[in-house]
Structure 1
Amino acid sequence: MSAQGPSSAPAFRRRIVLTGLAGLAVAGTVGAFEHHRHKRSPRRQPDGQYRKLRLIWPHADTAPVLAVAYQKGFFARYSLDVEGVFTPQNGNDALDALVAGKADYAVAPALTWLPRLYSGLPASLVLGIQPGTFRLLVRRGANITRLDQLVGRTVAVPDKNAADKFFFAIMMRRKGINAMDGIIWTDMPAEQMVDAASARTLDALVAHDPLAWQLLNSHPDLFAELVSSNTGHYADRTSLILGASHTALETDPDAATALTLALRDAAKWANQHRDEAATLVADESPEFSTETMRAMMRHQPAISPVTGHALRDQIAQYCDELQLIGLLPDTEAAADIARRTTRNVLNG
């Protein structure tokens, strides 16, 4: 698998076209799921009109929440026909497409969104979909057992400006380590990492699932996990964020509400039915077996969507951390940046 590009027939390319009463009749699984929803519903509800939306999502074929939203009828429930525009290589590609007007909504990591938003990207963050799944793998034999031992070493990253790198740079900065300048970061395609590690031309790599999980479990004699985002307080924080262009928010705010609710509900369902969600992904990704996807999801944090004040608070924390590593200026309070870059589309 190339971790930089989805399969040729991802679930994301499926489009659900509604007719007549399709918005009123969805799969039984969705109906059953309604019994488990929070008693307190959002104050703002969509108007129920049929809408066709353009959403861009990196690695769409391995996104369990997206697979659930399509295949378990959550988009249909909110009268949405969601079209995947194309399959971007990473979060920055997705945001480039949003700027170019090729999509109305985009999904990317918070650490990718925030520098772009601060620089003027005309969009707002509306839903935290799920936590990150970042892993730092070290080459066995490199004698790296602590984060400070990475200073001066060569660390590969699939995308040099990826959130993977920023996440671990922040983690290390909290421990007094200047990873942005002290590590030899090497941009390397995923398919070259195994050969480079075998040749001892790299000492470690940072990546996120499913690539990181695949490397760790397919080459246990070559890689060991040093740290990850899957435990401790990092596991409770959202990472993958849905954002909406300002044009979309201004012209049809109800569409943003509907999409946010659909993905929020799909995320909750995916968390409660992890094995089935993993199966849905595996069905559309031939390079991953059902057993592999299920094992991976069982070792990932809970899928916990966040909106409103909770999202704003977490974004403020990310802003503070990006200031620590020099990716946001410290001339403005992190809380103010978070307030400016988020919007609560469920608050009517």
Structure 2
Amino acid sequence: MIGKKISIRRGILGAVLGTLCAAYAPSAIAAEPVKVTIGTTLLADVMPAFVAKDKGFFARHGLDVSFTFVPLNPTIPAALMAGSIQVGAPNAAVFIQAADGGLDLQLIAGSTTTPSMGAGMAYVTRPDVPYADPRSLEGKKIIIPGLGSSVDVLFRKWLAEKEVDEKKINFVEIGSPQTDDALKAKSVDGAVVVEPFLTRVQQSGNGKLAARFMDGLADEKLGISYIATRSWIENNRAAANAFSAAIDDAIAWANANQQDARVIVQGYTKLPQPVIDALPFPHMSNKLTPDAVSWWIDTMKGQGRVSGKLDPARLVAKP
């Protein structure tokens, strides 16, 4: 009888210990991280994602994130539909045009906004090409880093407000990393440039600042954001929410550690640290509302770029 009681006690103790081991063994409770590939151009505006990866915020939220870098922002929606990436970081105009074209995409997190003063984009001209006012652009050959991109939309809105005939301008599409070389080779007269390449072009002496066309053009608007296909979001709702939470963590950390955040961006862009240090610190925000999308839809409809039949509420994923 005594032996039987000892055996029972040992059995109970073993069961308890087994339960405790299972409860505290990481392999027993930790789900496999969800693999997410982010497709993006090399912009300082992607700082939240770069920081979230580098500082482990994605990993803490159960995501195994990697990056695929593309030269032109407008190629991102097609990569999402093809399944080669799960999340894209396009500008607002590229996202809206893709949605207007029938691609079932939604916003899952914000990255940056475009401030109405001191935005990280401007028009630069070659040092030997005179610039007096916006009308000086007529007859010129000008780089746009992505036809149909937000920069393109904003620049043409500025031209229209300055009563410049955009049909008299020869626009060419060249990726931002190649802008400095194109100006140096004198194959173009000027360029619309975004950070971090705007600072680089000015420091090299191959381009000089002519006009900060965003100054006073519009209030703070949605800039770069993170999007995914609706089907991926519905099948990975927890991962989509985790992605947004990691971006929140990254924005808070980057704002509190700006110099360290700049170093992280330099690690991805490979630009010289003095160039990164000279950049205006991006305005980061993860606030997504239908109103943030409506302004872009209305503006692009006025330019004949979209039908304007989009429902802003359907373009923002719900948690």
Per the shorter chain, which TM-score range? 0.7 to 0.9
Equivalent position of 2:199 in the other structure:
213
Equivalent position of 2:59 in the other structure:
76
Report the AA paired with residue 57 of structure 1.
G
Asked if 1:186 is matched to 2:168, the reply is: no
* Structure 1 stretches of at least 4 aligned residues deviating more than 6 Å after TM superposition: none
Structure 1 stretch displaced more, 170-179 or 263-272:
170-179
Structure 1 pair 343–81 and aligned structure 2 pair: CA distance change class (3 A):
same
8 Å CA contact 1:98–1:105 kept in 2: the answer is yes
From 237, 255, 267, the counterpart of 1:271? 255
Distance 2:43 2:158 in 1: 29
Distance 1:192 1:293 in 2: 17
Structure 1 pair 158–244 and aligned structure 2 pair: CA distance change class (3 A):
closer
Equivalent position of 1:27 in the other structure:
none
Which structure: greater helix fraction?
Answer: 2
TM-score, reference length from structure 1: 0.73
Give the deviation of 1:295 after TM superposition.
1.6
8 Å CA contact 2:42–2:269 kept in 1: the answer is no
The runs of 5 or more residues in structure 2 that have no matched partner are: 1-24, 115-119
Which secondary structure does the structure 2 equivalent of 1:305 belong to?
coil
Structure 1 pair 264–225 and aligned structure 2 pair: CA distance change class (3 A):
farther
Give the deviation of 1:172 after TM superposition.
2.3
Distance 2:276 2:75 in 1: 25
8 Å CA contact 1:80–1:259 kept in 2: the answer is yes
- State the superposition RMSD in angstroms: 2.8
Structure 1 pair 115–87 and aligned structure 2 pair: CA distance change class (3 A):
same
TM-score, reference length from structure 2: 0.79
Asked if 1:150 is matched to 2:132, the reply is: no
8 Å CA contact 1:126–1:243 kept in 2: the answer is yes
Equivalence map 1:208-247=2 (5 Å): 208-219=194-205, 222-229=207-214, 231-232=215-216, 234=218, 236-247=220-231
Which secondary structure does the structure 1 equivalent of 2:171 belong to?
strand
Equivalent position of 2:305 in the other structure:
327
Equivalence map 1:57-72=2 (5 Å): 57-60=39-42, 63-72=46-55
Report the AA paired with residue 320 of structure 1.
D
8 Å CA contact 2:93–2:150 kept in 1: the answer is yes
Instruction: Give the share of equivalent positions with the same residue, in percent.
Output: 20
8 Å CA contact 2:39–2:85 kept in 1: the answer is no
Report the AA paired with residue 201 of structure 2.
L
Distance 2:191 2:240 in 1: 37
8 Å CA contact 2:35–2:63 kept in 1: the answer is yes
Instruction: Tell me the alpha carbon deviations over residues 33-81 of structure 1, each in whole angstroms, 9 at most, x when there is no partner.
Output: xxxxxxxxxxxxxxx9553132323235854222210122211221221
8 Å CA contact 1:134–1:209 kept in 2: the answer is yes
Asked if 1:171 is matched to 2:192, the reply is: no
Distance 1:340 1:174 in 2: 31
8 Å CA contact 1:140–1:224 kept in 2: the answer is no
Asked if 1:295 is matched to 2:278, the reply is: yes
Report the AA paired with residue 304 of structure 1.
S
Equivalent position of 2:6 in the other structure:
none
Distance 2:277 2:111 in 1: 19
The runs of 5 or more residues in structure 1 that have no matched partner are: 1-18, 24-47
Give the deviation of 1:115 after TM superposition.
0.6
8 Å CA contact 2:176–2:194 kept in 1: the answer is no
8 Å CA contact 1:98–1:106 kept in 2: the answer is yes
Give the deviation of 1:322 after TM superposition.
0.7
Equivalent position of 1:253 in the other structure:
237
Report the AA paired with residue 156 of structure 2.
A
8 Å CA contact 1:52–1:80 kept in 2: the answer is yes
**How many pairs align?**
288
Distance 2:185 2:193 in 1: 19
From 308, 315, 318, the counterpart of 1:341? 315
Equivalent position of 1:9 in the other structure:
none
Equivalent position of 1:140 in the other structure:
127
Instruction: Tell me the alpha carbon deviations over residues 283-322 of structure 1, each in whole angstroms, 9 at most, x when there is no partner.
Output: 4444422x321221xx244222212x3xx21210011111
